[in-house]
Amino acid sequence: MTAFLRLVLAIALCGLTPAHAMESMRGILDAVRATPTPAAAPPEATATNVAAAATPVATPTPEPTVEPPRPSKGQQPPVVRVNVAAQAPNFMQPWRKNPRTIRQGLGVVLMDGRILVTAELVADHIDVELEKPDTALKAAAQVEVVDYDANLALLAAPSADFLQSIPGARLDESVSVGDRVEVMQLEPNGRPVTTPATVTTIEVGPYPVDENAFLVFKLSVPLQTRENSFTIPALKDGRLVGLVMRYSPATQTADLVPAPVIAQFLRAAAKQPYAGFPRAGLTFSDTRDPQLRRFASLPEGTGGAYVTKVLPGSPADAAGVKAGDVLLSVDGRAIDQDGNYEDERFGKISLAHYVSTALQAGQKIPIVVWRDGAEVTLEGTLAPRDRSRMISQPYIFDRDPDYVVVGGVVFSELSRQFLREFGRGWQEDAPLKLLYLDRFQSELPPDRGRIVFISGVLSSPNNIGYEGLGFEVVEEINGKPIRSLADVAAAVDNPEGPYHRIRLAEDPGLLVLDVDGSKADEERIKQQYGLESLRHLESQD
């Protein structure tokens, strides 16, 4: 039984040829400073980031194109090298870290002196370093804002002087299908090399980290393997068109985080605290099926998208949109049978783009739906997605996972980041029950709370007999329902009598730990297994 693969695109992009294998064939442009390509880059190391993409390039040199890559002349390009040391925590043993990785990318210097990169470049960073392409001068940088949904981050330079000789780039949001753009990379000596590219498709598609969909530009471009594998900028007449977030050497196509998404990110980043992109909180399907249209008594010839799900507590929910409604218009934009609206620049494109990228959080918008054979006008207030309500987080970066160890029994909260620890085949190999709960979390009761489970047992005298446990969902401890690790901590801090009674949702159903014995084991467990603390409750509220 094989897994159902959600991101087919992601799979197409993986490759394993080591970067240095290509050196001999392409001496001139390739890495003198050969740095290993990040082996465990976040979050889908093998699949979705540009690191994996930049590595393979199975053919030595692309077929000669009409316009071969050429060194740029004249002015300094608006880029700076960004070198990141990163280390992700190990969600299986949450007190441990996975191996350190080094990632290198290009940052685009913006007009205000901040530096734009993809979020993947800086995920779980320990150290972020800027390096001037011409002088190789280095300085530490700060990550100011990061948005993993939109795969974008802003870095602050240590001082305005540092970037003095580098001009800032403006955004070009006017690009449309068929336009010629240039993808910029740097030679080892710092000279920019640009590769001509054509915008072939503009559509709403999945982004690497979550299953969020935003605008994507697809480029046809023969890119070569270079040391700066993350965040390759695409420019048009010196203006920023987008950042490459995925590259497929097989088809020579690159996916860009395009300028409209970058612009929306910069608008959101102007406000503190950063809240993210507005979302409506609903999913829809097309209404092309004439039988479905007759069933919903939709008049012939009209548009409308069939609402399939409304997230509880979302703006759509607050506005009163219900599953089974047909969306006729949003903010005055008519919705067609495919859920597209007519965009001035891109033509027909998914409503998801309009809501997330053209509108602003806090904005009130009219929503017209078809319900029971009549039009109903609702009003919604857009807001970013409230992740705290999610039962299983789709990603966790830049913080250590929470855990509680009681008598050597390790309690964790379910997240997709945990499931990904099962490696490339995690959708097959991770425990089926947990996979199911993560994947279909939107079908669980909204007040379910988080899913706490036993992620392992650190053998000690008091937990004898429990060695074989793993991945059982915890329902109750000492009579208290468990909806978070904070609940676990509170429940074990207040035992009734000499035992902790841990009730599991599945076999064997009941675990018992001796309260005093578990306490007595604590020091030994910390020392033997190298735990600094038996608890980490950073993200508990």
Partner 1 sequence: MPHRALYLPVAMFILCTASLSQGAVAPAASMVRIEVTSQQPDYTSPWSPGSIGAGVGAGFVISGNRIMTNAHVVSNGTFISVLKEGDPNPWEARVLHVAHDCDLAILEVYDASFFEGTKPLEFGGVPALESEVSVYGYPIGGDRLSVTRGIVSRIDFQPYSHSAVDSHLAIQIDAAINPGNSGGPVMQDGKVVGVAFQGFRGDVAQNVGYMIPTPVAKRFLKDVEDGSYDRYMDLAATYFPLLNPAQRSALGLTDENGGVLVGSVFDGGASQGKLQPGDVILSVDGTKVFADGKIDMDGERVEMAEIFEGKFKGDKTELEILRDGKPEKVTLEMTRPWPFEMQAKGYDKRPRYVVVGGLVFQPLDRNFLETRKEVRPRMRYFFDNYVSDHIYRGHPEVIVLSDVLRDPVNTYARPFADNIVSKINGKEVRTLQDVAAAFAEEGQFHVVELLGEGRPIVLDRAALPEAEERIRQRYGVTNPQNL
By CB under 8 A, name the binding residues for partner 1.
Answer: 1-4, 283, 285, 288-289, 291-292, 294-295, 306-309, 323-324, 427, 432-433, 435-436, 439-440, 443, 462-466, 499, 501, 506-514, 517
- Identify the burial level of 514 via C-beta atoms within 10 angstroms of its C-beta, where 0-12 means exposed, 13-18 middle and 19 or more buried: middle
Q: Give the contacts of 123 (CB within 8 A, at least 6 positions apart).
A: 41, 42, 43, 86, 88, 146, 148, 397, 398
Using DSSP's 3-state secondary structure scheme, residue 373 falls into coil
* Shorter beta-carbon distance to partner 1: residue 252 or 478: 478
Q: Which is nearer to partner 1, 362 or 509 (CB)?
A: 509
Instruction: Compare residues 21 and 512 and give the one whose CB is closer to partner 1.
Output: 512
Question: Minimum CB separation from partner 1 for residue 322, in Å?
Answer: 11
Say whether 164 sits in a helix, a strand or coil. coil
Cα angle: 141, vertex 192, 138; to 5 degrees: 25
d(CA 64, CA 54): 19
Within a 13 Å sphere around the CA of 325, how many CA atoms are in the beta-carbon half? Answer: 23
C-alpha of 407 from chain center: 35
User: Least CB distance from residue 285 to partner 1, whole Å?
Assistant: 5
Residues 197/254, Cβ–Cβ less than 8 Å? yes
Nearer to partner 1 by Cβ, of 343 and 475: the residue is 475
Nearer to partner 1, 274 or 471 (CB): 471
Q: Name the minimum Å distance from CB 88 to partner 1.
A: 25
Distance of CA 141 to the CA centre of its chain: 22
DSSP state string for 230-261: B-EEEEETTEEEEEEEEEETTTTEEEEEEHHH
Q: CB 282 → partner 1: shortest distance, Å? A: 9
Nearer to partner 1, 26 or 439 (CB): 439
**CB-wise, 67 or 516, nearer to partner 1?**
516
C-alpha torsion sign, points 512, 513, 515, 516: positive
* Count of beta carbons in the 10 Å neighbourhood of residue 342: 12
Q: What is the largest CA-CA distance in the chain?
A: 80
Distances (CA, A) of 286 to 100, 214, 414, 442, 534: 45, 18, 33, 21, 50
Identify which of residues 129 and 338 has a Cβ nearer to partner 1 in the complex.
338
Minimum Å gap between C-beta 534 and partner 1 is 18
Fill in the DSSP letter of residue 415: B
Q: How far is the CB of 112 from partner 1 (least distance, A)?
A: 43
Distance between CA atoms of 169 and 77, rounded to whole angstroms?
9
Structure tokens at 89: 């925590």
Polymer length of the chain: 541
Tell me the closest approach of the beta carbon of residue 519 to partner 1, in angstroms.
12
Q: How far is the CB of 309 from partner 1 (least distance, A)?
A: 5
Instruction: Rank residues 347 and 465 by Cβ distance to partner 1 and give the closer one.
Output: 465
Q: Which DSSP state fits 152?
A: E
Cβ of residue 108: shortest distance to partner 1, in angstroms?
A: 39
Could you tell me the smallest distance in angstroms from the CB atom of residue 401 to partner 1? 23
Tell me whether residue 375 or residue 496 sits nearer to partner 1 (CB atom). 496
| Nearer to partner 1 (CB atom), residue 25 or residue 464 | 464
Smallest distance from partner 1 to CB 2, Å: 5
Cα–Cα dist 386/7, whole Å:
24
**Cis bond before residue 43 (omega within 30° of 0):** yes
Q: Give, in degrees to the nearest 5, the angle at Cα 283 between 278 and 285.
A: 135
441 three-class SS? helix
Q: How far is the CB of 326 from partner 1 (least distance, A)?
A: 11
CB of 405 to partner 1, least distance (A): 16
Q: Which of 347, 498 has the CB closer to partner 1? A: 498
Among all chains, which residue has been given the structure tokens 């409304």? Answer: 310
Q: Which residues of 258-278 are buried (b: 16+ CB within 10 A; e: fewer)?
A: bbbbbebbbebbeeeeeebbb
Q: Which is nearer to partner 1, 136 or 323 (CB)?
A: 323
The β-bridge partners of 256 are: 217, 244
